[in-house]
């Protein structure tokens, strides 16, 4: 398949776990290796062929808008959530008229990684198949993560079908904060504030939620310590 041309970047969250780094700047503008987190995301999207990114804003929205004014690749459109923080699902649902009819990436503004043999986003575009998928999730094996100490989010079969963890609550794969979808995922979605998890569970129940294995190292930069660890990893990768 050709490149995905549009993306939704989720940048409206409060970033409370990143304090004190977020006392004066929103989390998407926290620097990582001398570059704002959101610019790491947008640069990677641009390299994968994304031409237009819709960025939602709420917390310290003005700072994010000002920071993004100079960007031309990808072109930026703002989805304003100053009135109400809508969570991941509600935020994308509000922006659907801006995202268009074709498939689009949904990308957390703090999701960064070192690549495997081929760029992840390019591979996702190739794997995407709207005939059998409502969503395609980029999943990292827990052993190939940095700064992640969770119990895992999903199981994944050999054919890429994803499921929630069983009775133990443990799962081998962590969600990286990146997925592909089109407007079909949002058919029948609730109004207002809701999580993408609600739509993923519906897609799982229909056998239309798929995953792709991340082949590099995913960095979960949720705290100041995780930022330092990610910067050290990036220095080693570049050295």
**pLDDT tens-digit profile of 193-210?**
999 999 999 999 999 999
User: Which residue shows structure tokens 């100079």?
Assistant: 70
Residue 208 is given by DSSP the state: -
Structure token digits, residue 184: 């079909």
Mean pLDDT, residues 172-180 taken together: 98
Q: Does 239 have pLDDT greater than 70?
A: no
Strands (E), the chain: 6-10, 31-32, 35-36, 52-57, 75-80, 104-108, 111-114, 135-141, 145-146, 155-156, 162-163, 173-181, 209-213, 217-220
Quote the pTM value.
Answer: 0.96
Q: Is a pLDDT exceeding 50 seen at residue 180?
A: yes
pLDDT(16) > 70: yes
Contacts for 6 with CB less than 8 Å, ≥ 6 apart:
50, 51, 52, 53, 54, 99, 100, 102, 104, 105
**Alpha carbon 9 to chain centroid distance?**
7
Q: Is 79 helix (H, G, I), strand (E, B) or coil?
A: strand
What confidence tier does 168 reach under pLDDT thresholds 50, 70, 90? confident
In this structure, which long-range contacts are made by residues 185-191, counting pairs with CB atoms below 8 Å and at least 24 apart in sequence?
A: 185/134, 185/135, 186/89, 186/92, 186/93, 186/96, 189/89, 189/93, 190/89, 190/90
DSSP 217-231: EEEE--SHHHHHHHH
> Phi and psi (nearest 5°) for 21?
-60, -25
8 A C-beta contact, residue 181 and residue 109 = no
Q: Is the CB of residue 173 less than 8 Å from the CB of residue 141?
A: yes
For residue 205 the two structure tokens come to 């129940």
> Per-residue pLDDT for 1 more than 50?
no
- Give me the chain's average pLDDT, please: 95
Query: Distance between terminal CA atoms of the chain?
Result: 34
Report the C-alpha gap between 226 and 26 in whole angstroms.
Answer: 16
pLDDT (tens digit per residue) in 53-73: 999 999 999 999 999 999 999
pLDDT band at residue 3 under the 50/70/90 scheme = confident
- Report the topology of domain 6-238: Spore Coat Polysaccharide Biosynthesis Protein SpsA; Chain A (3.90.550)
Q: What is the pLDDT of residue 169?
A: 85
Over range 165-186, report the average pLDDT. 94
């Amino acid at each position: 398949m050709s490149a995905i041309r549009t993306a939704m970047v989720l940048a409206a969250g409060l970033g409370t776990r990143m304090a004190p780094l977020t006392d004066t700047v929103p989390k998407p503008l926290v620097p990582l290796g001398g570059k704002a987190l959101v610019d790491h995301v947008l640069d990677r999207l641009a390299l994968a062929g994304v031409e237009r990114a819709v960025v939602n804003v709420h917390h310290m929205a003005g700072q994010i808008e000002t920071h993004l004014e100079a960007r031309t690749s990808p072109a930026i459109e703002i989805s304003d959530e100053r009135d109400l923080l809508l969570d991941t699902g509600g935020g994308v649902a509000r922006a659907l008229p801006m995202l268009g009819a074709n498939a689009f990436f949904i990308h957390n503004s703090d999701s960064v990684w070192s690549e495997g043999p081929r760029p992840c986003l390019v591979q996702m575009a190739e794997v995407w198949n709207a005939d059998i998928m409502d969503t395609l999730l980029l999943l990292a094996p827990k052993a190939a993560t940095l700064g992640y100490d969770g119990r895992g989010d999903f199981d994944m079969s050999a054919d890429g079908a994803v499921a929630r963890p069983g009775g133990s609550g443990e799962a081998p794969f962590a969600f990286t904060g990146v997925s592909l979808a089109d407007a079909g995922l949002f058919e029948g979605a609730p109004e207002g504030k809701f999580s993408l998890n609600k739509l993923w569970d519906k897609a799982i129940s229909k056998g239309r939620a798929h995953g792709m294995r991340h082949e590099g190292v995913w960095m979960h930069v949720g705290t100041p310590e995780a930022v330092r660890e990610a910067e050290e990893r990036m220095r080693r990768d570049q050295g």
